């Protein structure tokens, strides 16, 4: 490619990506300003004074505390109580690297990774949407909504969701380009950031299957590696815990101390005890609303022609946490259900409706941040 052609390609890409990057910047500014306000309000609710020892330490609240602990000290089992083995390793590894190389505090490192990862995610997701939907406008609307989605305040916190989104979208784009080994590496990384990202195996399998006739034996093997990469990565985590802590079941035990026991009756248990628990844990009401909303949007995506493998992957992201016996945090887990964003992009048909949704989402971002001491992600 000549220099002139490369310059034209870069200019064209900038033009295509400008809307979603604009909403990424707007949403992150609004969200960070809300965190500034939260910081100024001082300790309240479940937030203790320790979170306020450094500027915007509230960005490392809730699970961010655990990721920072892992980055500093590694995995440790605390018998009979909550342990940090419940959290997957890629994100704390990045925090440790940034701290060691640049000297950033762990909370700052986590927020930096999260915010920048979201910029990559919205751009990659736009390009992915163009290929899946065949509609640039719908893909743009979906990617812009990803930038402002109401539960997306965690995309500015020391949480790995935006990193997992970026890696998942890039893995799928690499598969569409038949760069199978790159896709396998990205899918592996996504699964090691968030276990829900393992659902990427389903659309990867669909992409590989549709390309099978044009693949020789070598590329077919590499395509199979891409499909299996995320599930294999998930399976290696217990093996790592066995090697490092001599306890392959440490992840499941840690989940149990958070009240999560994975079993076939989990969804029934979650719904059965929900009415009694909502009174004392209003966060469950919020997550139930998001679960219903996400499920409805999956149905919309299916009716608007999004492929079965994509819908199944979204359903897997939403459904697997329910087998833990709770709807808690489904609002956050569902952020990795890609067809949900496409459904919004396909539903919106006017600039006015799109703008109203975006402004409303920004307002909700602020609300959830201010309520963070009482309603955890």
User: Over the chain, what HEC string results?
Assistant: CCHHHHHHHHHHHHHHHHHHHHHHHHHHHHHHHHHHHHHHHCCCCCCCHHHHCCCCHHHHCCHHHHHHHHHHHCCCCCCCCCCHHHCCCHHHHHHHHHHHHHCCCHHHHHHHHHHHHHHHHHHHHHHHHHHHHCCHHHHHHHHHHHHHCHHHHHHHCCCCHHHHHHHHHHHHHHHHCCCHHHHHHHHHHHHHHCHHHHHHHHHHHHHHHHCHHHCCHHHHHHHHHHHHHHHHHHHHHHHHHHHHHCCCCHHHHHHHHCCCCCCCCHHHHHHHCHHHHHCCCCHHHHHHHHHHHHHHHHHHHHHCCCCHHHHHHHHHHHHHHHHHCCCCCHHHHHHHCHHHHHHHHHHCCCHHHHHHHHHHHHHHHHHHHHCCCCCCC
Which domain covers residue 290, as residue numbers? 15-370
Return per-residue pLDDT of the chain as tens, 377 residues: 566 655 566 666 778 999 999 999 999 999 999 999 999 999 999 998 989 988 889 999 999 999 999 999 999 988 878 889 999 999 999 999 999 999 999 999 999 999 999 999 999 999 999 999 999 999 999 999 999 999 999 999 999 999 999 999 999 999 999 999 999 999 999 999 999 999 999 999 999 999 998 989 999 999 999 999 999 999 999 999 999 999 998 998 888 877 777 888 778 877 777 787 887 788 999 999 999 999 999 999 999 999 999 999 999 999 999 988 889 999 999 999 999 999 999 999 899 999 999 999 999 999 999 999 999 99
Report if residue 124 sits inside a domain. Answer: yes
| pLDDT score, position 10 | 63
Report if residue 7 sits inside a domain. Answer: no
Report if residue 376 sits inside a domain. Answer: no
Report if residue 230 sits inside a domain. Answer: yes
Q: How many domains does the chain have?
A: 1
Report if residue 334 sits inside a domain. Answer: yes
Report if residue 4 sits inside a domain. Answer: no
Report if residue 332 sits inside a domain. Answer: yes
| pLDDT score, position 307 | 97
Report if residue 375 sits inside a domain. Answer: no
pTM of the model: 0.95
């Amino acid at each position: 490619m000549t220099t002139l052609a490369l310059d034209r390609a870069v200019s064209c890409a900038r033009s295509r990506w400008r809307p979603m990057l604009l909403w990424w910047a707007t949403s992150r500014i609004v969200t960070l300003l809300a965190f500034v306000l939260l910081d100024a309000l001082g300790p309240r609710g479940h937030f203790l004074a320790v979170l306020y020892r450094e500027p915007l330490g509230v960005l490392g609240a809730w699970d961010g505390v655990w990721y920072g602990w892992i980055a500093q000290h590694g995995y440790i089992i605390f018998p009979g109580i909550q342990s940090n083995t419940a959290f997957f390793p890629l994100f704390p590894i990045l925090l440790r690297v940034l701290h060691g190389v640049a000297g950033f505090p762990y909370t700052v490192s986590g927020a930096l990774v999260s915010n920048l990862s979201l910029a990559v995610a919205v751009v990659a997701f736009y390009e992915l949407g163009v290929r899946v939907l065949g509609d640039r406008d719908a893909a743009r609307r979906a990617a812009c909504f990803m930038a402002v989605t109401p539960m997306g305040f965690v995309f500015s916190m020391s949480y790995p969701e935006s990193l997992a989104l970026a890696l998942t979208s890039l893995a799928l784009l690499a598969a569409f380009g038949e760069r199978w080994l790159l896709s396998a590496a990205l899918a592996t990384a996504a699964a090691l950031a968030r276990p829900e990202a393992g659902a990427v195996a389903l659309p990867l399998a669909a992409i590989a299957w549709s390309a099978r006739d044009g693949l020789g034996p070598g590329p077919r093997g590499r395509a199979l590696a891409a499909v299996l990469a995320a599930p294999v990565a998930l399976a290696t985590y217990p093996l790592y815990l066995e090697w490092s802590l001599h306890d392959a079941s440490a992840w499941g035990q840690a989940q149990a101390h958070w009240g999560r026991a994975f079993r076939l009756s989990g969804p029934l248990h979650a719904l059965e005890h929900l009415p009694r628990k909502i009174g004392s844990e209003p966060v469950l009401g919020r997550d139930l609303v998001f679960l219903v909303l996400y499920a409805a949007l999956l149905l919309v995506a299916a009716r608007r022609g999004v492929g079965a493998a994509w819908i199944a992957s979204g359903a897997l992201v939403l459904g697997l946490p329910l087998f833990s016996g709770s709807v808690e945090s489904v609002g956050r887990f569902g952020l990795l259900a890609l067809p949900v964003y496409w459904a919004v992009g396909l539903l919106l048909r006017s600039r006015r409706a799109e703008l109203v949704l975006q402004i409303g989402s920004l307002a909700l971002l602020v609300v959830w941040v201010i309520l963070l001491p009482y309603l955890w992600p």
